[in-house]
Amino acid sequence: MELKTNFSLKALNTFRVEAVADAYLRFDLVDEIVDFLGRDELDSHRRLVLGGGSNLLFVDDFDGIVLHPLLKGIDVIEADRRHIWIRAMAGENWDDLVAHAVTNGWAGIENLSLIPGSVGASVVQNIGAYGVEVKGVIDGVEAISIHNREQVRFSPNDCRFGYRSSNFKNDWAGRFIITAVVFKLSQKPDFVLDYPGVKAAVEAVGPITLDHVRQAIVSIRQSKLPDPDLIGNAGSFFKNPVVDGNALSGLLKLNPDLPYYPQGGEHYKLAAGWLIERCGWKGRHVGKAAVHHQQALVLVNLGGATGREILELSEQVSGAVHERFGIELAREVLVVP
């Protein structure tokens, strides 16, 4: 454990924007975190717990302490004929966990292949893709309270998962450091292939197996989504908006080709990418910040953009959607002021 001052966060955020933290501390062990949280001086500083840095946008230097747990390890803790319980430390790379599960024949997260970020962040965000959300396979979340250093274990119910959200993003924001996640995976796959294009993509690879599903998902993502190692981005910048039946019929009158997905209870999810594209923003750029040319929901750093420029672009995009469709786009990405 080593405290660094005036530390550049550029390599630690997938937008690759420059932001300097007053102080940065990396932890490799749970005990190091517990020890550090006992220090009084922490209370007087602004804090940020960093995961894989794939869902945040720094718009300024960070005048506080960045805490970066890089706890590693994946263990099987229990198994029966149908299920297997895996405990993964929060600092493991998410896609490495998926690859490990697929190689071992453990099913349930193969549709979440190639999502950037860490295991800890997957919970905060309730990551989701191609018909699967991580909340469906979470058995428990281990964390340390920043306030009293207590080690706690939350059930999935405690976490109050929603679409790209959880209590860790809402009521509990800034209160816990997630240290490990227990996943309940299946010994026998129950494939989820109904998202448009997925089944055909798997069949193009070969018979339906865990490995082929992973390969198909990886190729779908690679064909649409920019690789953060090559072009700075944080995946979807906005959430897909949800509207009620009245709003939907008003929108459909003016836009008969509007895609929508019933969510039950008279609620309908719309495709933010489609709305943005209709406003003419797909592929456009303002300075070095751009709307991706293949997926309008993703904002990218063409190289050298500042966080502020990306935020300003996002405001122009959401302003255009609001003006044309009367819909407020909510951000999926966390903006760090």
Q: Which residues bind ligand EPU (CB under 6 A)?
A: 129-130, 195, 225, 235-236, 239-240, 259, 271, 273-274, 277, 282, 295-297, 332
Token pair 């500042």: residue: 306
Rounded least distance, CB 266 to ligand EPU, Å: 20
- Active site residue: 92, 110, 309, 332, which one? 332
What minimum distance in Å lies between the beta carbon of 262 and ligand EPU?
A: 14
Give the residue with the Cβ less far from ligand EPU, 8 or 261: 261
Place of tokens 């193009």: 204
Indicate the residue among 33 and 132 with the shorter CB distance to ligand EPU: 132
CA dist 254 to 250, 251, 269, Å?
7, 6, 17
What Å distances lie between residue 6 and 9, 25, 337, CA to CA? 9, 11, 17
CB of 157 to ligand EPU, least distance (A): 23
List CB contacts of 8: < 8 A, sequence separation 6 or more. Answer: 18, 19, 20
Confirm whether 150 is a catalytic residue.
Answer: no
**Integer angstrom CA distances of residue 328 from 74, 157, 270, 287:** 40, 29, 12, 24
Residue of 16, 26, 164, 221 marked active site: 164
Nearer to ligand EPU, 26 or 214 (CB): 214
Alpha-carbon gap, residue 324 to 271, rounded angstroms: 15
Any idea what DSSP says for residue 32? H
Tell me, yes or no, if 164 is annotated catalytic.
Answer: yes
Query: What minimum distance in Å lies between the beta carbon of 12 and ligand EPU?
Result: 18
Q: Please, which residue, 13 or 240, has the CB nearer to ligand EPU? A: 240
Per the annotation, the verdict on 332 as an active-site residue is: yes
Q: Report the catalytic residues.
A: 164, 236, 332
